[in-house]
Amino acid sequence: MRNTKNKKIIIETDSDECSISNLDEVWASDDDWVEVIPFEYKQPTLFIEQTAWIIESFKQTSYNLNCFKDEVSYRNIFYNKDEGFNLCVHTKDDQYHLFCILETEDENGEITIERHSVDGSELKVFQRSEIKLPFMKKLFCRTNTDDVYLTLFDPELKNEEFTYCNHKDDQNDILDLTEYQKRKKYKIGVLYVKEGQTKEEQFLHNVESSKTFQDFLNIIGDKVKLSGFEGFSGGLDLLHGSCGKESVYTEWNDFEIMFHVSTLLPYDKSNKQQVVRKKHIGNDVVMIVFLDGNVKFDPDSFVTRQIHVIIAIRPIFKWGELKYRIEVSRRSCVPEFEPILPTPPIFDKNTLRDYLLTKVCQAERNVLVSGQFLKRYKFMRKDIIQKIYKRNLF
């Protein structure tokens, strides 16, 4: 076993049960990749040359697919609720906080409070018995406890002034604020790679694919005709045919996912760079790479600043059956996210779909709040909260 900083890392094993926890961590820069490497062969399918890496070890045999179950959101708790109201606080140190508050009619009931700030959202639930009114409020029978709610949520907000937010556009703006990351619509790239191919130009010039690849596409979604399609387009042209005739699409877990499949996007024999294919796949943040054969894939071989997570799928025959082995690479700025890869990371056609769709949706959500996207995410949140605050001042 060998680990050389800033060079290709080679790990050899003959077992699916590969533990690499004794490797030293090699921290990467924001633009480098962090590789998650389960093995089927003596050398990894995903590899990087001249780049620092963090290699994560895997010891668990189970994984969690309930990432979206009972997901708490502004839409299903606060939106269009008559008993709810919103407050906005502009603190003395120039920070903005937006509070969504929902009171139950029961005197012994709950108070649900969600705070939105530049950094994210936080939800807390309190019992009415936890609310202690100041002496002067009790003395003069003042029933307005809204400032007490703020202090209960965050004691550092004591004595900060707040503004009620009841403009007709506030609720829709809060939806935009809260659903940027917890989105319901995803566009995912799918790149087909044949054995012996190592360069982007070769990948994008694939026109014909194998039955194994077609079977894989049938697992993750359904082929749909783009002309007149009424679902989520994922940026594909539904009117003039400039993005091809068909694509792969699925509705899953209340989500809509449109796949940008390299072999289904238009092919121009005279165009070396295959601009249309590269434009769509290269602007996705998550890409599935289907490795048809004993292929080694370098994430840097597909040049793009947008793609931050690559999920490699390799079909293998194990115990006489067709199965699929998954490997994952992510930029070092992207935090680890569920569902984790089990050991060994091998799935059959019945288990692959739910795992893979959960993984790609979770990947996109995590990418959107990390790395180069984080600054944009925080700017968007601050802009919306400031807009709500300022239009409710008068």
What ranges make up the beta strands (E) of the chain? 33-36, 84-90, 96-103, 110-117, 120-127, 162-165, 185-194, 222-225, 246-252, 255-261, 286-292, 309-318, 321-331, 346-347
Least confident of 46-55, 212-221, 226-235: 46-55
Q: What would the pLDDT profile of 158-169 be if each residue is shown by its tens digit?
A: 888 899 999 999
Residue with tokens 């292929």: 295
Burial of residue 299, with CB atoms counted within 10 A of its CB: 0-12 exposed, 13-18 middle, 19 or more buried = buried
Taking only the tens place, the pLDDT of each residue in 256-290 is 999 999 999 999 999 889 999 999 999 999 999 99
Is residue 37 over pLDDT 70?
no
Q: Which two three-digit tokens encode residue 325? A: 């082995």
Domain extent listing, the chain:
33-60+184-365, 74-167+376-391
CATH class as words, domain 74-167+376-391: alpha beta
343 contacts 38 by C-beta, under 8 angstroms: yes
Lowest mean pLDDT among 10-14, 108-112, 224-228, 378-382: 10-14
Pick the closest to residue 361 from 339, 342, 381 (CA basis): 339
pTM of the shown model:
0.81
Q: Would the CATH topology of 33-60+184-365 be identical to that of 74-167+376-391? A: no
**Percentage of the residues of the chain whose pLDDT score is greater than 70:** 79
Whether residue 98 is predicted with pLDDT greater than 50 in this model: the reply is yes
Whether the per-residue pLDDT at 147 is higher than 90: the answer is: no
Residue 264 CA: distances (Å) to CA of 114, 125, 204, 205: 44, 48, 11, 11
pLDDT in tens, 305-350: 899 999 999 999 877 789 999 998 988 888 888 998 888 888 999 9
| Alpha-carbon distance values, 385 to 77, 123, 150, 393 (Å) | 19, 17, 17, 13
Looking at the chain, the whole-number percentage of residues with pLDDT higher than 90 is 56
Domain 33-60+184-365 belongs in CATH node 3.40.50.11210: yes
**Which CA distances in Å does 360 have to 52, 75, 241, 280, 309?**
24, 23, 27, 16, 8
- Residue 371 burial (10 A CB sphere; 0-12, 13-18, 19+): buried
